[in-house]
Amino acid sequence: MTGTAAPAALAAHATLAASAPGAISAPPIEYSQLGPMLVVFGAAIVGVLVEAFAPRPARRGTQLALSLGGLAAAFVWTVVIAASRQVFANGSPGHTAIGGAVGVDRPTLFIQGTIVVLAFISVLLIGDTRFSPFVAQAAAPPGATAEQEGLAAGAMHTEIFPLTLFAVGGMMLFPAANDLLTMFVALEVLSLPLYLLCGLARRRRLLSHEAAMKYFLLGAFSSAFFLFGIAMLYGFSGSVSLAAIASTAASNTSNSTLLFAGIALTGLGLLFKIGAVPFHSWKPDVYQGAPTPVTALMASCTVVSAFGALLRVFYVAFGNLTWDWRPALWVIAVLTMVVGAVIAITQTDVKRLLAYSSIAHAGFVLTGVLAVSTAGLSSALFYLVAYGFTTVGAFAVITLVRDPGGEADHLSRWAGLGRRSPVVAGIFAFFLLAFAGIPLTSGFTGKFAVFQAAIASGETALVIVGVLSSAIAAFFYVRVIVLMFFSDPVPDGPEVVLPNVFSGTAVGVGAAVTLLLGIAPQPVLSLASHAANQLFVG
């Protein structure tokens, strides 16, 4: 509901930005270039209307069709823009729409396309209602009569679909935002629906509430830091546009306190969203407590989007200050890789395990970011695609392994799964091997690309740490595989349900892309390097 204001608020921002004393001219609004985001936000708003006026039985189908249709249309539109000769005429790196508020360039379009596809798969998981992971009556306390009645009637909060679309729209805007105000609004538009979605799990509701509260309080805390960083940068340069900050930083060296405080605080806000150590503590709790389809959405789309924004801010606004922020980010990347890999070893919950693995992977992508080159950017983009699809597939498998009371999250329940259900266990093992970066999976290609880019930029020490922590990480992935295939099955172990068309598609697409990017990565690699060729538009 709160997100409804976002697209119009942006338009209002453009209106206000032009309202300085003197001449007021309407800023150009390139609707055709903003199409993908407008479609997603529009579908979300229509979704709210469906909630308001459609009869209850018709809601779920309508919402599902609307969400999937909106995301598919957004993807097609993104491809059309990327192929457009008008935007990229005469070798132009791209265009900034709405008077410089939103950047339309190749890396952004690549990121947006990735987000939309991953969101599409996540929505498939969300729409799988056979064992709906979402609460029937969010307002009813756990165990109350109202909740029991809702469960019995098969009720479901179909508001989940518009909320997801608002979050996805925010995720698409976040890496595209070319000024920090738009970026802050996008950050909130993507975060606020996610806070709510985290708290909507049907089973283990206290856990889910707790995840929502932790995510909310820490997220609000970190976005306050992000905002204060924006204030510092505004104080430094008198503008929140990334390009203006970059040009002031190049010419003005007097007020560097404000500049460095700004870099540190905005960086903190962005690193929190990607879950880099030491700003990672929310990630395991939230991933474990949230409903699994929402975890899939967060683990794939949010990470991709936040990395897009991080790349844009650090490459465009702070691109001339590489020597100032690189050492700090270097330390964070090392910490992220090592801490993520080491703590994952002690985990006993499969969702928590994947959360720590996601932290370690954030460190690997940071290695690509630290290369500060077109090769670094393109390898980071490729890594995000590879990791996103593998993650969505892995979480889709988790929704299939069930106990009577819900998903079988505890690793001990997974013992001997390979004997009871070799196909599902085999696919999950394949995803784990991809996380570990074994050859013939997308994970290997991705790791190879980021490490290569980092070495080319002289970050050999970082790569050594990366390879070592990959080895540590491989240990716990292989441990899970051994547990699944070489342990005795637990008596009355979890049931593996057959995937239906929704979860089947999610698992299938995840596995197919993981395999394809492992054995024939060239098309996507060249697409990523084509996208990264001219960096972001300033």
Q: Please check whether residue 369 is in contact with residue 308, taking contact to mean a CB–CB distance below 8 angstroms.
A: no
Under the criterion CB under 8 A, does residue 72 sit at the interface with another protein? Answer: no
Which of 52, 89, 251, 491 forms a contact with another protein (CB under 8 A)? 52
- Return the beta strands (E) in 53-107 as ranges: 94-97, 102-105
Under the criterion CB under 8 A, does residue 185 sit at the interface with another protein? Answer: yes
Which of 79, 181, 342, 438 forms a contact with another protein (CB under 8 A)? 181
Q: Please check whether residue 366 is in contact with residue 329, taking contact to mean a CB–CB distance below 8 angstroms.
A: yes
Under the criterion CB under 8 A, does residue 251 sit at the interface with another protein? Answer: no
Question: Could you write out the DSSP letters of every residue in 246-272?
Answer: HHHHHH--TTHHHHHHHHHHHHHHHHH
Amino acid at 64: L
Under the criterion CB under 8 A, does residue 199 sit at the interface with another protein? Answer: yes
CA distance 354 to 295: 10
Which of 106, 209, 273, 280 forms a contact with another protein (CB under 8 A)? 209
Under the criterion CB under 8 A, does residue 17 sit at the interface with another protein? Answer: yes
Q: Please check whether residue 106 is in contact with residue 112, taking contact to mean a CB–CB distance below 8 angstroms.
A: no
Total residues at the site for another protein (CB under 8 A)? 70
Toward another protein, which CB reaches closer, 207 or 490? Answer: 207
Q: Among residue numbers 322 through 351, which ones bind another protein (CB under 8 A)? A: 346-347
Under the criterion CB under 8 A, does residue 210 sit at the interface with another protein? Answer: yes
Which residues 6+ apart lie within 8 Å of 391 measured at CB?
296, 299, 300, 354, 358, 510
Calculate helix-pair angle for 256-274, 350-370, nearest 10 degrees: 140
Least Cα distance to 215 among 162, 285, 263 occurs for 285
Which of 80, 83, 146, 217 forms a contact with another protein (CB under 8 A)? 217
Which of 37, 125, 230, 375 forms a contact with another protein (CB under 8 A)? 230
CA distance 360 to 15: 42
Task: Report angle CA 233, 336, 265 to the nearest 5 degrees.
Answer: 15
User: What count of residues does the chain have?
Assistant: 538
Under the criterion CB under 8 A, does residue 408 sit at the interface with another protein? Answer: no
Rg (CA), the chain: 22
Which of 103, 275, 289, 308 forms a contact with another protein (CB under 8 A)? 289
Toward another protein, which CB reaches closer, 266 or 503? Answer: 266
Question: Minimum Å distance from CB 339 to another protein?
Answer: 13
Toward another protein, which CB reaches closer, 14 or 513? Answer: 14
Under the criterion CB under 8 A, does residue 285 sit at the interface with another protein? Answer: yes
Under the criterion CB under 8 A, does residue 278 sit at the interface with another protein? Answer: no
Selected range binding another protein among 238-246, 267-275, 365-373, 488-496, rule: CB under 8 A: 238-246
Site string for another protein, 99-138 (x = CB under 8 A): ---------------------------------------x
CA atoms 326, 538, 264, 342: torsion sign:
negative
Question: Could you write out the DSSP letters of every residue in 116-143?
Answer: HHHHHHHHHHHH--TT--B-S-TTSPTT
Toward another protein, which CB reaches closer, 94 or 219? Answer: 219
Under the criterion CB under 8 A, does residue 411 sit at the interface with another protein? Answer: no
Give the C-alpha distances (Å, rounded to integers) separating 317 from 173, 248, 538: 17, 10, 8
Under the criterion CB under 8 A, does residue 206 sit at the interface with another protein? Answer: yes
List interacting residues with another protein (CB under 8 A). Answer: 1-5, 7-9, 11-21, 24, 26, 45, 48-49, 51-53, 138-139, 141-142, 181, 184-185, 188, 192, 195-196, 199, 205-207, 209-214, 216-217, 220-221, 224-225, 227-228, 230-232, 234-235, 238-240, 284-285, 288-289, 346-347
